[in-house]
Structure 1
Amino acid sequence: MAVVDDHVLVREALAGVVRDLGHEVSTASTVEAVLHHHLDLLLLDLDLDAGGLADEQIVATLTERGVAVLIVSALSSPRHVRRMLAAGVAGVVAKSDSMKELCAAVDAALNGQQWMSPVLAKALVIDHDADRPKLSDNELEALRLYACGLKLDSVARRMGVAPSTAKQYIDRVRDKYARVGHPARTKAELYAAGVDDGFITK
């Protein structure tokens, strides 16, 4: 088992709790430092600087190796937490949760179960509407067509509008995502955001 967090005090405190449960645990400030270890569980800081790797890639790499990943985070982005859950993490622990809840999360993860505190689950449901932009029918159609690969001219033809109008729809989508604190400027970012929010089906 390992704890990865770039804050020394947090890292050592988490490791101490896990050791008190009777588990051997190593610590590191980066995921790369523990990838060569034989692990059954990794406690990972969600906001860690992962050296350029997307968090979903880290989770996928670890879960493919049979490592359960338990996210421990200050939870600055509920959207990111939902993305991690979709990627297959064993659970999410808020840094504001109690040691009792952390212990419950560790036990659940080691037993192959997904864990989340009731308080966190409620917060994510509340925040989902707050950080999901409200798109008009035209904006939604333009997003789906454009983010899934069509050029603006093709989007305009499919929608029966002028290219300038199609561009306005996409610009409005970008602006609405920016207003909810989730900038999505590129086509790839629009696609990822659309999938996260259920606007686009993979």
Structure 2
Amino acid sequence: MTHVALIDDHESVRLGLEAACARIGDMEVAFSGNTVTEYLDWRALSREAPADVVVLDLTLGDGTTVTENVVRLVRDGSSVIIHSVADRPAAVREALAAGAAGVVSKSSPIGDVIAAVGTVARGEPLNNVEWASAVEGDRDFADAQLAAREREVLRLYAAGLPLKAVADRLGIAYSTAKENITRIRVKYVEVGRPAPTKIDLLHRAVEDGLIDEPASDSGDIARGR
């Protein structure tokens, strides 16, 4: 069962997505509301696990920025899809740089939105037309792209967890986590940013905004590669 949260300050949009999700046997809307703060407050009170995928409007009416919202949701443990009119490519790039897994236009058929949720929930990259339009002409940003699952693995591994602990945390096999790290290293080599050691991966994760710059010495991380 894929658990979905819908965050949009347009109730009609949420109701349409709720109805579409209800028609899918393996998809459930766990939360529907206006702001990220509402969602996180609900999580704290209900003690429910983070949604697998959060479908997030690009601009909410509470004055928050898209970077702020995406970062809070990703750190909470969810993958994020931006559901936007997609006429603000700079803002969409900002959301993707903050860690969003992809973008789907509000003009897309609702079936495409549901399919995108399933794609991201499986940890697969959402490299659709909207994503391509957002990063067109911004090669430095495009080169930094990792699949949603790869970002999750890198975020935990670069933060200092042993690879087995990363696998346990994400509920995947150790061999799968190891394959993800291998693919991540290959991707960084291909864009001229090699990361042969764990400390190098830490630097890449910081550069790409997946984790904050650690305040303490990174020697322990380097020894845990």
TM-score, with structure 2 as normaliser: 0.51
Larger Rg: 1
Judging changes above 3 Å, is the alpha-carbon distance between structure 1 residues 28 and 125 closer, same or farther for their aligned structure 2 residues? Answer: closer
Partner of 1:117: 128
Percent of matched pairs sharing the same residue: 34
Please point out which of 73, 92, 106 is paired with 1:81: 92
1:33 aligns with 2:38: yes
1:19 aligns with 2:22: yes
Q: Is the 8 A contact 1:105 1:116 kept in 2?
A: no
Say what the alpha-carbon RMSD is for the aligned residues: 2.1
5 Å-filtered alignment, 1:45-84, equals 45-49=57-61, 51-84=62-95
Count of residue pairs brought into register by the alignment: 127
Q: Kindly provide the amino acid, as one letter, of the partner of residue 94 in structure 1.
A: S
- Which consecutive residues of structure 2, in runs of 5 or more, have no partner in the other structure? 44-48, 139-225
1:104 aligns with 2:109: no
Q: Is the 8 A contact 1:4 1:27 kept in 2?
A: yes
Q: Kindly provide the amino acid, as one letter, of the partner of residue 33 in structure 2.
A: A
Distance 1:40 1:122 in 2: 24
Judging changes above 3 Å, is the alpha-carbon distance between structure 1 residues 99 and 84 closer, same or farther for their aligned structure 2 residues? Answer: same
Offset of 1:68 from its aligned partner? 0.8
Judging changes above 3 Å, is the alpha-carbon distance between structure 1 residues 82 and 16 closer, same or farther for their aligned structure 2 residues? Answer: same
Distance 2:59 2:137 in 1: 18
C-alpha distance after superposition, 1:150-170 (max 9, x if no partner): xxxxxxxxxxxxxxxxxxxxx
Judging changes above 3 Å, is the alpha-carbon distance between structure 1 residues 85 and 126 closer, same or farther for their aligned structure 2 residues? Answer: closer
Offset of 1:105 from its aligned partner? 0.7
1:90 aligns with 2:101: yes
- Which consecutive residues of structure 1, in runs of 5 or more, have no partner in the other structure? 129-202
Judging changes above 3 Å, is the alpha-carbon distance between structure 1 residues 98 and 127 closer, same or farther for their aligned structure 2 residues? Answer: farther
Distance 1:28 1:87 in 2: 21
1:7 aligns with 2:17: no
